[in-house]
């Protein structure tokens, strides 16, 4: 039986950075994100008893088994849970405006969890689906839901899952992604967060920092206060990046243009425009602002980075199941 699902990527406003349990992907802290409408992955999974291993195709390209070990490991989990014995044909398509750059493991594993579990005959609740997606990639646990989403760190496999805190975000919160570099990142988030946990002397206080930032941002969300949300998200992102700069050996995801964007956003703020920045495990900057200021912010960013390198994204939906249209080899 084949099944197709779509999941959107999410950008954390309060970051997940560090695992307590690498196998189960249990984080040290809660985190909170916004699911975006513009970047998503559509995946079809078709179990086939004729196959000798899982076959993975991403954006029309066959991925060799040695490069798809994470996916094969994830599919083994689905087989264990469902009793399904066959391997599967997996086809995944990333919708990322202007190619690469923001293709994410969050949308990828959320879509795979939904399509694979359905195709295997499992009928998971959204919470169970969030737990399953987590086993592929931590941030995927949040992409099961739309809007503003909190991932509860939990204490074990059962208690670590995401929950929507505001599915319909109706107060003008928007993001612009500035595409600074479309290459694959040099240090993966998985490797980068482990290095931070193992070697940054500041990691000890990270859980406390996140707890405070999370409390503050949840109040700001209830107040629908975009400036406060932006301010807290920006500070939290910089605190996360301080964990990479303080690792041994130190490293950073920033590039020269990342700093240029940060300076520009600070400048715009001084002129009275309400905008803030956040960055993940890569150089691209996402700007957080109020929709009503979009024209001025786009114009100012466009002058420096070029309109072609900007993508406007709004709050997006959670998992969607689609009809499986084609399944040729
Ligand atoms: C900086 O979810 O990619 O984007 O669990 O190892 O697959 P793994 O890591 P991943 O890390 C995301 C890190 C982040 C912050 C966040 O999304 O919360």
pLDDT at 329 over 70: no
Q: What is the pLDDT of residues 164-204, one digit of tens each?
A: 999 999 999 999 999 988 776 678 999 999 999 999 999 99
pLDDT at 222: 98
Cα–chain center distance at 84 = 29
Distance, CA of 140 to CA of 105 (rounded, Å) = 7
CA-137 nearest atom, ligand 1: 7
The answer to whether 55 and 44 have CB atoms below 8 angstroms apart is: no
Q: Report the range of poorest mean pLDDT among 45-49, 162-166, 270-274.
A: 270-274
- Band (pLDDT 50/70/90 cuts) for residue 98 is low
Check pocket membership of 109 for ligand 1, CB cut-off 6 A.
Answer: no
Q: How open is the CA angle 258-105-11, to the nearest 5 degrees?
A: 50
Task: Kindly indicate whether the ipTM for this predicted assembly is greater than 0.85, answering yes or no.
Answer: yes
pLDDT at 328: 45
Smallest CA separation from ligand 1 atom 11, residue:
189
String of DSSP letters for 25-74: TEESS-EEEEEEEEEEEEEEEEEETT-SS-EEEETTEEEPGGG-HHHHHH
Mutational pocket test of ligand 1: of 21, 113, 136, 139, the residue with most ligand atoms within 8 Å of the beta carbon: 139
Check pocket membership of 12 for ligand 1, CB cut-off 6 A.
Answer: yes
Check pocket membership of 103 for ligand 1, CB cut-off 6 A.
Answer: no
pTM, entire model? 0.96
Query: How many A from CA of 104 to the centre of ligand 1?
Result: 9
Smallest CA separation from ligand 1 atom 4, residue:
280
pLDDT at 181: 81
The answer to whether 15 and 237 have CB atoms below 8 angstroms apart is: yes
Check pocket membership of 39 for ligand 1, CB cut-off 6 A.
Answer: no
- Mean pLDDT of all residues belonging to the chain: 95
Distance, CA of 71 to CA of 186 (rounded, Å) = 20
Distance, CA of 322 to CA of 5 (rounded, Å) = 6
**Beta-sheet strands, E only, within the chain:** 2-14, 19-21, 26-27, 31-48, 55-58, 61-63, 87-95, 148-152, 161-166, 173-178, 275-279, 285-290, 310-313, 320-322
pLDDT at 82 over 80: yes
Distance, CA of 95 to CA of 101 (rounded, Å) = 11
Domains along the chain? 2-169 (3.30.230.10), 173-313 (3.30.70.890)
Smallest CA separation from ligand 1 atom 3, residue:
189
CA-27 nearest atom, ligand 1: 5
Query: How many A from CA of 222 to the centre of ligand 1?
Result: 25
Check pocket membership of 281 for ligand 1, CB cut-off 6 A.
Answer: yes
pLDDT at 326: 61
- Band (pLDDT 50/70/90 cuts) for residue 100 is very low
Check pocket membership of 294 for ligand 1, CB cut-off 6 A.
Answer: no
pLDDT at 103: 62
Distance, CA of 196 to CA of 142 (rounded, Å) = 22
pLDDT at 251: 97
* Pairing assessment for the beta strands 275-279 and 285-290 based on DSSP bridges: antiparallel
Query: How many A from CA of 138 to the centre of ligand 1?
Result: 6
Q: Report the range of poorest mean pLDDT among 41-55, 83-97, 256-270, 292-306.
A: 83-97
Check pocket membership of 15 for ligand 1, CB cut-off 6 A.
Answer: yes
């Amino acid at each position: 039986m084949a099944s197709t699902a779509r999941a959107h990527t999410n950008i954390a406003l309060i970051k997940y950075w560090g695992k307590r349990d690498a196998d189960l992907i249990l984080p040290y802290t809660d985190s909170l994100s916004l699911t975006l409408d513009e970047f998503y992955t559509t995946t079809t999974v078709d179990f086939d008893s004729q196959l000798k291993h899982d076959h993975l195709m991403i954006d029309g390209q066959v991925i060799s088994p040695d490069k798809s070990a994470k996916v094969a490991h994830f599919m083994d989990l689905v087989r264990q849970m469902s009793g399904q014995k066959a391997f599967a044909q997996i086809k995944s398509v990333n919708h990322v405006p202007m190619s690469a750059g923001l293709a994410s493991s969050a949308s990828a594993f959320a879509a795979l969890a939904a399509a694979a579990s359905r195709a295997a005959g499992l009928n998971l609740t959204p919470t169970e689906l969030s737990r399953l997606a987590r086993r592929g990639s931590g941030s995927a646990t949040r992409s099961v839901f739309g809007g503003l989403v909190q991932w509860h760190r939990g204490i074990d496999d059962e208690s670590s899952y995401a929950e929507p805190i505001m599915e319909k975000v109706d107060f003008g919160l928007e993001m612009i992604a500035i595409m600074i570099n479309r290459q694959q990142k040099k240090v993966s988030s998985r490797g980068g967060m482990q290095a931070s946990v193992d070697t940054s002397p500041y990691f000890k206080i990270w859980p406390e920092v996140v707890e405070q930032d999370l409390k503050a941002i949840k109040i700001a969300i209830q107040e629908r206060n975009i400036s406060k949300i932006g301010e807290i998200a920006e500070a939290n992102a910089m605190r996360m990046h301080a964990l990479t700069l303080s690792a041994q050996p130190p490293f950073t995801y920033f590039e020269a243009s990342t700093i240029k964007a940060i300076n520009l956003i600070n400048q715009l703020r001084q002129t009275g425009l309400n905008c803030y920045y956040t960055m993940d495990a890569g150089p691209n900057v996402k700007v957080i602002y109020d929709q009503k200021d979009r024209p001025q912010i786009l114009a100012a960013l466009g002058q420096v980075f070029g309109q072609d390198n900007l993508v406007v994204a709004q709050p997006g939906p959670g998992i969607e199941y689609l009809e499986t249209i084609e399944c040729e080899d």
